[in-house]
Amino acid sequence: MSERISPRRFHEACGLAERDVAAARRISAVVRELGFAADPSAVQTVLLDVATWLERD
């Protein structure tokens, strides 16, 4: 038996969503300090998938 968990539920369960938002805010602050301006018309969707292997003893 397997259960499919939506990516959103997985991220919420792992606490990644809050860290992702915090990281994005820090990046935005640095970019603003460098003098760049946001261009909402150029927003694209990006999916980043990170996989790890767990080793058992």
Nearest to residue 23, comparing CAs of 41, 11, 39, 37? 11
The predicted pLDDT at position 26 comes to: 92
Q: How far apart are CA 38 and CA 32, in angstroms?
A: 8
What are the structural domain ranges in the chain? 1-57
Mean pLDDT over 8-16 rounds to: 64
The predicted pLDDT at position 4 comes to: 62
More confident residue, 11 or 37: 37
The predicted pLDDT at position 1 comes to: 45
Band (pLDDT 50/70/90 cuts) for residue 6 is low
SS3 sequence of the chain = CCCCCCHHHHHHHHCHHHHHHHHHHHHHHHHHHCCCCCCHHHCCCCCCCCCCCCCCC
pLDDT digits (tens, 9 = 90+) for 16-48: 677 778 888 898 899 999 999 888 788 777 777
